[in-house]
């Protein structure tokens, strides 16, 4: 049915209905068999050793640990409410009916077969564990390695009579002794496409399901951006020198932030960007440190959530790694207009990282905007990371599965607490220095010759090609 029309007072979904799916986040434990059951692409080996041929069909397979395997879904069957469409169809009413459905058989005891409605003799003579898998089983695991026809097989392709269907999933078999416990966790995932036919939402569902599984696997921890740096000041006569630093307990110590976002769902094809094996997809899920943003804020009560409110926070400085990555735009879905709304998060200078900054102007002043001695000014600094496993373009149908949030910023400070503003008061520093006046200004540097010992503050020095050319000129 290509149209879900209105029915009385109930509104239909129209031509693009949503899709739901049930995910075995962690199925029941298999019975112990003394081996690490394999995850292998060789279907016969998977069958012979009670393994699986695809990642996601269970947990603990091929991980080097014996007897920790949990089943994924092993049978998928359906019935029509009220029955009567074919022998063996209909609501279960007896213990035997329930048991037959549980083990993937029809009510009349017939085994599921590939093709048609899945009940013999309409289908082929090939036994099937999963009905209507579409093209999701290229290795033919659900038919015990036997190549079936037709492929793909789905209700959309065979034209089964429309009816009120109920689907059933099961995992097993396993032994449950009296009083024993074997837990499992399932989740129901919902997704809806914005355009397309009545099957379009299935692709959105697959992406949403990957995110849901990642959320479960990560114990429901959301991705953290790089920790905000600490700020210290050198207060000067009508100027402030601001310094950034990251503590040893910060996730961005030595600007080494490199954290995985488990909710990134890498598409099967990246249109030329990704061509490696499936296991290498994981490397594309990492955000890496990219730069800093420093804001002047109107008072100490301003929070990091208000940094894009120009009336209370204004960008005072920005630095980032010199790597060609400049403007970063995040897209956020707005349900009121059913579209992704772009927001510029940063427009990078692409000139390299620095850790000290000189401020002489008040970004909120009118008229003479020079800093005023003995007045308190407030600043917030955040760090941000970058990931773009694939470019996102709302106008390109081949890039709709790209990275909508390439920018991720600090959610906490390097000490683990909340991000707060830092206060500074410009003043003449001579009295606190015993009357000593500094003749140097910000940016001055004496010429230094290293006679012995370790130089460069213990850091490795990477020379640019321009510097190397000047040395050998």
Q: Which of 34-48, 265-279, 345-359, 402-416 has the lowest mean pLDDT?
A: 265-279
Tell me the whole-structure pTM to 2 decimals: 0.59
Token pair listed for 188: 């129901």
CA distance 208 to 296: 39
Kindly state the average pLDDT of the residues 438-458: 81
On the question of pLDDT at 274 being above 60, the answer is no
How many other C-beta atoms are found inside a 10 Å radius of the C-beta of residue 233?
17
Enter the DSSP assignment of 59.
E
| DSSP string for 335-401 | TTTTEEEEEEEEE---SB--SEEEE-B-TT--SS-B--TT--EEEEEEEEEE--SS---TT-TTSTT
Average pLDDT across the chain, whole number = 91
Confidence tier at 194 by pLDDT (50, 70, 90):
confident
Look at residue 165 in the predicted model and tell me its pLDDT: 92
CA distance 130 to 160: 16
Question: Quick check: 320 and 291 in contact, CB under 8 A?
Answer: yes
Question: Quick check: 237 and 373 in contact, CB under 8 A?
Answer: yes
Confidence tier at 268 by pLDDT (50, 70, 90):
low
Confidence tier at 221 by pLDDT (50, 70, 90):
confident
CA distance 136 to 118: 17
HSE-up of residue 196 (Cα within 13 Å, Cβ side): 14
On the question of pLDDT at 277 being above 80, the answer is no
Look at residue 44 in the predicted model and tell me its pLDDT: 95
Confidence tier at 272 by pLDDT (50, 70, 90):
very low
Tell me which of 325 and 199 has the higher pLDDT.
325
Kindly state the average pLDDT of the residues 438-443: 86
On the question of pLDDT at 278 being above 80, the answer is no
Place of tokens 């837990």: 183
| DSSP string for 151-167 | SSB-HHHHTPPP--EEE
Place of tokens 């917030």: 380
Enter the DSSP assignment of 278.
G
HSE-up of residue 4 (Cα within 13 Å, Cβ side): 13
Kindly state the average pLDDT of the residues 7-20: 90
Look at residue 216 in the predicted model and tell me its pLDDT: 87
Q: Which of 207-221, 235-249, 251-265 has the lowest mean pLDDT?
A: 207-221
Token pair listed for 349: 């200078």
Look at residue 90 in the predicted model and tell me its pLDDT: 94
Confidence tier at 145 by pLDDT (50, 70, 90):
very high
Tell me which of 461 and 299 has the higher pLDDT.
299
Q: Which of 203, 114, 213 is nearest to 157 (CA)?
A: 114
CA distance 220 to 208: 15
CA distance 186 to 22: 7
Token pair listed for 325: 């990555």
Confidence tier at 473 by pLDDT (50, 70, 90):
confident
Confidence tier at 143 by pLDDT (50, 70, 90):
very high
CA distance 167 to 101: 10
CA distance 204 to 405: 17
Kindly state the average pLDDT of the residues 459-467: 86
On the question of pLDDT at 275 being above 60, the answer is no
On the question of pLDDT at 253 being above 60, the answer is yes
Question: What are phi and psi for residue 37, nearest 5 degrees?
Answer: -60, 135
- Please, where are the H alpha helices in 114-170? 155-158
Strand partners, 315: 295
Question: Quick check: 381 and 244 in contact, CB under 8 A?
Answer: yes
On the question of pLDDT at 302 being above 60, the answer is yes
CA distance 18 to 208: 12
pLDDT digits (tens, 9 = 90+) for 99-128: 999 999 999 999 999 999 999 988 778 999
């Amino acid at each position: 049915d290509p149209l879900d029309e209105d029915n009385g007072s109930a509104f239909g979904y129209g031509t693009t209905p949503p899709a739901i799916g049930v995910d075995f986040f962690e199925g029941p434990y298999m019975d112990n068999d003394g081996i690490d059951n394999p995850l292998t692409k060789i279907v016969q080996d998977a069958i012979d050793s009670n393994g699986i041929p695809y990642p996601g069909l269970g947990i603990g397979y091929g991980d080097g640990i014996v007897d920790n395997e949990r089943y994924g879904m092993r049978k998928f069957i359906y019935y029509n409410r009220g029955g009567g469409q074919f022998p063996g169809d209909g609501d279960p009413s007896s213990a035997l009916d329930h048991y037959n459905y549980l083990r993937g058989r029809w009510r009349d005891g017939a085994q599921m077969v590939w093709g048609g409605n899945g009940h013999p003799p309409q289908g082929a003579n090939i036994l099937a564990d999963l009905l209507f898998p579409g093209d999701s089983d290229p290795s033919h695991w659900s038919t015990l390695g036997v190549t079936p026809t037709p492929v793909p097989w789905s209700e959309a392709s065979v034209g089964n009579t429309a009816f009120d269907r109920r689907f059933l999933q099961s995992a097993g078999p396993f032994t449950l002794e009296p009083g024993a416990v074997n837990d499992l966790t399932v989740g129901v995932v919902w997704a809806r496409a914005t355009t397309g036919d009545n099957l379009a939402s299935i692709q959105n569902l697959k992406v949403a399901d990957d995110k849901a599984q990642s959320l479960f696997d990560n114990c429901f921890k959301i991705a953290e951006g790089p920790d905000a740096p600490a700020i210290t000041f050198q207060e000067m006569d009508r100027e402030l020198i601001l310094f950034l630093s990251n503590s040893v307990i910060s996730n961005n110590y030595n600007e080494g932030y490199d954290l995985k976002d488990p909710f990134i769902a890498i598409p099967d094809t990246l249109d030329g960007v990704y061509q490696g094996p499936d296991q290498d997809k994981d490397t594309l899920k990492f955000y890496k440190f990219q730069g800093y943003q420093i804001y002047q804020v109107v008072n100490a009560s301003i929070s990091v959530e208000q940094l894009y409110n120009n009336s209370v926070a204004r960008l005072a400085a920005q630095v980032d790694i010199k790597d060609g990555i400049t403007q970063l735009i995040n897209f956020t879905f707005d349900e009121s207009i059913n579209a992704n709304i772009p927001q510029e998060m940063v427009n990078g200078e692409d000139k390299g990282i620095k850790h000290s900054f000189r401020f002489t102007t008040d970004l909120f002043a009118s008229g003479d905007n020079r800093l005023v001695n003995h007045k308190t000014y407030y600043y917030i600094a955040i760090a941000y990371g970058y990931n773009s496993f694939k470019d996102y373009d709302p106008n390109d149908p081949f890039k709709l599965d790209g990275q909508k949030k390439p920018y991720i910023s600090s959610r906490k400070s390097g000490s683990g607490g909340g991000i707060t503003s830092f206060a500074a008061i410009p003043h003449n520093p001579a009295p606190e220095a015993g009357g000593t006046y500094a003749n140097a200004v910000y940016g001055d540097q004496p010429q230094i010759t290293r006679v012995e010992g370790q130089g460069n503050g213990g850091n490795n020095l990477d020379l640019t090609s321009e510097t190397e050319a000047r040395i050998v000129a």
